[in-house]
Chains A and B, each alone.
Chain A
Amino acid sequence: SQQGEEDPQALSIQEGENATMNCSYKTSINNLQWYRQNSGRGLVHLILIRSNEREKHSGRLRVTLDTSKKSSSLLITASRAADTASYFCATDAGGFKTIFGAGTRLFVKA
Chain B
Amino acid sequence: SQTIHQWPATLVQPVGSPLSLECTVEGTSNPNLYWYRQAAGRGLQLLFYSVGIGQISSEVPQNLSASRPQDRQFILSSKKLLLSDSGFYLCAWSVRLGLAIITDTQYFGPGTRLTVL
A residues lining the B interface (CB < 8 Å): 2, 30-31, 33, 35, 40-45, 48, 88, 90, 92-93, 95-103, 105
Contact = CB atoms under 8 A, between A and B. Distances in A.
Given A2-B43, A92-B102, A102-B43, A97 B49 contact: yes
B34 to A, nearest CB: 8
B103 interface: yes
Contacts of A33: 105-106
Interface in B101-117: 101-111, 113
Name, among A31, A42, A44, A48, the residue most crowded by chain B CB atoms within 10 Å (CB to CB). A42
B51 A43 contact: no
B49 A42 contact: no
Given A48-B104, A96-B51, A98-B103, A42 B43 contact: no
A100 B59 CA distance: 14
Given A42-B108, A102-B43, A92 B103 contact: yes
Given A42-B111, A43-B92, A92-B102, 10 more contacts: A41-B111, A43-B90, A43-B108, A45-B105, A93-B103, A96-B103, A97-B46, A97-B103, A98-B46, A99-B46
Contacts of B109: 42
A26 to B, nearest CB: 15
Contacts of B86: none
B44 interface: yes
A-B pairs, top 10 by smallest CB distance, nearest first, are A42-B108, A102-B43, A100-B44, A92-B103, A43-B108, A98-B103, A100-B43, A45-B105, A42-B110, A42-B111
23 contacts: A30-B102, A30-B103, A31-B104, A35-B108, A40-B88, A40-B111, A42-B90, A42-B108, A42-B111, A43-B106, A43-B108, A45-B105, A45-B107, A92-B103, A93-B103, A95-B57, A95-B101, A96-B57, A96-B101, A97-B49, A98-B46, A101-B43, A102-B42
